[in-house]
Amino acid sequence: MGEAMLWDLARTKGPEAAARAALNRIEAWADPALFIHRVPVEAVMAEARRLALEGPMGRPLWGVPYVVKDNIDVAGMPTTAACPGYAYTPKEDAPCLARLRAAGAMLLGKVNLDQFATGLVGVRSPYGTPRNALAPDCVPGGSSSGSASAVAAGIAGFSLGTDTAGSGRVPAGFQNIVGLKPSLGLVPTRGVVPACRSIDTVSVFAMTAAQAGEVLAVMAGPDAADPYSRAAPASWRATGGAVPPVLRVAVPEEAELVLDTPDDAALFRAALARLESLGAVLERVSIAPFLALARRLYDGAWVAERTAALREVVEHRADALHPVTRTILEGGLSRRTVDAFDDFHAQAGARLLARAIFARFDLLAVPTAPGLPTLEAVAAEPIAVNSRNGTYTNFVNLLDLSAVAVPAGFRGDGRPAGITLIAPAFAEALLCAVGGAVHHAAGLRLGASDEATPAPPPGAALAPDESALFCIGAHMSGLPLNGQVTSLGGRFLRRDRTRPEYRLHALGNRPGMVRAVGGAAIEGEVWALPTAAIGPLLAGVPAPLGFGTVALEAGPCLGFLAEASGVEGAPDITAHGGWRAWLAAQS
């Protein structure tokens, strides 16, 4: 039935068929450590019948079965955070979950996790360890262990996790699925048991980046009752982006890539090669301050923040805690305030580097984890192995960045590996577009199924509040002024070229295009911008350049033009066919 594609089943045969398939898969999978609480079968089917009767109108997730991590509130269902002695029963859904219900998604239940979302292994739970769907002798990844296993096993069309240190990315890398970690505050965390409340996020697991983006689009939005919630820019979108023809990607220095096996290293190199095949230009950079900051997450002020969230449990009910979790949380009681400022200053210094990197690059590509550890290895060294898992994830929320983890392939021993793409806050559309393309190019199966990874959907058309702008010079992707377009909410739509009616001139460091008899076709890029941003962008364009209607092969479009008098005496570079080709000829 295509268990890995419950989305397709819901959309082609309806919610009842999708619900039956998910419930059958739960029974066939037979993992007693997966669910902590299940929605009763009869209740799931009743919800499916209700959705089928009401229809999909206005419900983008109509009939898609999903699960949530058991540190997220579901009205009337206990929240345990994998600590039975902590359990409480909320009266209302967390806002993120309420938005999913309104969008027509069907909840199957609440799944297992590392206790209090403290860990990246998935074994720190009194409810047992969910089975890794791809490598049963290995950890499932944590802390969102059950969330990843349910998607990889084809039980859920998507799932919710949380991600503070990598809990929404590491399990994805360990189980051949996608993990989307949104920007801080984009999805409300009210109704979520805090880990480090100031840097907690609600994350999404799915088979594809496009699916994860669709879920995020439903959940995103501010919550007036959540002090850490924040509104995205007006131009923000979770999906609909396209891979720019020139993509600038930073990659850590070779010495900073410490991977477990030669196979892990080879898979990362292969993923980078796929990025290059998509047009990416890679450049090595040092991320040493990021890696140093990552180590502070479990050895500094943020441990104390974890302890503060659970102080009553730590001080008065510590026997209820998992032994490893107890060791970590009790360590927060001895942290000194004076030392916290060392952490905050290191964080500020790393953020300065992040700003510098993302001023030059669109993305930073890193391994999702150094490698996939076995259950035996974690049992022998529970803290050391866990810490290693967070090498390339711990720093991301501390730097206010967004990220997506996608599959990178399988080692010779059959264990999966992943690559993570990191971007500034609110760059989820770009992450989903590039992540989806890299995932598809790998030619892998989806999760633990036999289904091939589908091609990502094409970039979305213009939204009602957007206008198309044809760029021919330094505002194109990868060129010096492209940041002016992206900072205003611009997103790449497509390459295009004019009808053969224009001539191109070199005006110093930028081109000037004029309509002329005996002209030629000029290549450029079409970008979507919020209509309200067209004016501010034009205000920064110096004479003799401006905007006007350009005749493209695809039809008329607003674009960059020059006054005819402004190009008199300037070199005619029409024969090159475009500014990018002319630049290449000069170099």
If one counts the domains in the chain, the total is 2
Type of residue numbered 81: A
* Neighbouring-strand partners of residue 39: none
Looking at the structure, tell me whether residues 391 and 483 fall in a common domain. no
Which spans in 487-575 are helix H? 531-539
Looking at the structure, tell me whether residues 161 and 252 fall in a common domain. yes
Looking at residue 458, its pLDDT comes to 79
SS3 content of the chain, % helix, strand, coil (to 5): 40, 20, 40
| pTM for the full predicted model | 0.92
Assigned domain for 309 exists: no
- Cis peptide upstream of residue 449 (ω within 30 degrees of 0): no
Assigned domain for 354 exists: no
Looking at the structure, tell me whether residues 434 and 479 fall in a common domain. no
Looking at residue 287, its pLDDT comes to 98
Assigned domain for 125 exists: yes
Type of residue numbered 102: A
Q: Are 422 and 398 in contact (CB under 8 A)?
A: no
Assigned domain for 348 exists: no
Complete DSSP assignment for 135-194: -TTB---SSSHHHHHHHHTTS-SEEEEE-SSSTTTHHHHHTTSEEEEPPTTTS--TTB--
Looking at the structure, tell me whether residues 277 and 368 fall in a common domain. yes
Assigned domain for 433 exists: yes
CATH number at residue 547: 3.10.490.10
Looking at residue 2, its pLDDT comes to 43
Secondary element (H or E) of residue 551: strand 545-552
Q: Which of 407, 426, 441 is the endpoint of a domain?
A: 441
Looking at the structure, tell me whether residues 436 and 472 fall in a common domain. no
Q: Are 183 and 425 in contact (CB under 8 A)?
A: yes
Assigned domain for 137 exists: yes
Looking at residue 4, its pLDDT comes to 46
Looking at the structure, tell me whether residues 194 and 262 fall in a common domain. yes
Active site residues: 69, 143, 167
> How far is CA 298 from each of CA 167, 192, 302, 360, 396, rounded to the nearest angstrom?
14, 20, 7, 30, 14
First-to-last CA distance in the chain?
A: 55
**What is the full per-residue pLDDT of the chain (587 aa) written as tens digits?**
344 479 999 999 999 999 999 999 999 999 999 999 999 999 999 999 999 999 999 999 999 999 999 999 999 999 999 999 999 999 999 999 999 999 999 999 999 999 999 999 999 999 999 999 999 999 999 999 999 999 999 999 999 999 999 999 999 999 999 999 999 999 999 999 999 999 999 999 999 999 999 999 999 999 999 999 999 998 899 998 889 989 999 999 999 999 999 999 999 999 999 999 999 999 999 999 999 999 999 988 999 999 999 999 999 999 999 999 999 999 999 999 999 999 999 999 999 999 999 999 999 999 999 999 999 999 999 999 999 999 999 999 999 999 999 999 999 999 999 999 999 999 999 999 999 999 999 999 999 999 999 998 877 778 888 999 999 999 999 999 999 999 899 999 999 999 999 999 999 999 999 999 999 999 999 999 999 999 999 999 999 999 999 999 999 999 999 999 999 999 999 999 999 999 999 98
The parent domain of residue 433 ranges over 3-226+238-287+364-441
Looking at the structure, tell me whether residues 435 and 490 fall in a common domain. no
Looking at the structure, tell me whether residues 473 and 385 fall in a common domain. no
CATH number at residue 423: 3.90.1300.10
Type of residue numbered 542: P
Complete DSSP assignment for 82-142: T-GGG-B--SS--HHHHHHHHTT-EEEEEE--SGGG--SSS---TT--PPPSS-TTB---S
Looking at the structure, tell me whether residues 522 and 555 fall in a common domain. yes
Pick the closest to residue 135 from 388, 366, 371 (CA basis).
371
Distance of CA 137 to the CA centre of its chain: 27
Pick the closest to residue 68 from 178, 173, 202, 232 (CA basis).
202
Assigned domain for 502 exists: yes
Looking at the structure, tell me whether residues 437 and 473 fall in a common domain. no
How many CA within 13 A on the CB side of residue 174? 38
Report the phi/psi class of residue 76: left, alpha or beta, with left for phi > 0 and alpha for psi in -120 to 50: left
Question: How is the beta sheet containing 466-471 ordered, strand by strand?
Answer: 491-497, 523-530, 466-471, 555-562, 545-552
Residue 132, both tokens:
């890794």
Looking at the structure, tell me whether residues 475 and 581 fall in a common domain. yes
Assigned domain for 310 exists: no
Exposed/middle/buried for residue 47 (C-beta within 10 Å: 0-12, 13-18, 19+) = buried
Looking at the structure, tell me whether residues 420 and 491 fall in a common domain. no
Looking at residue 462, its pLDDT comes to 85
Residue 500, both tokens:
């053969």
Looking at residue 345, its pLDDT comes to 97
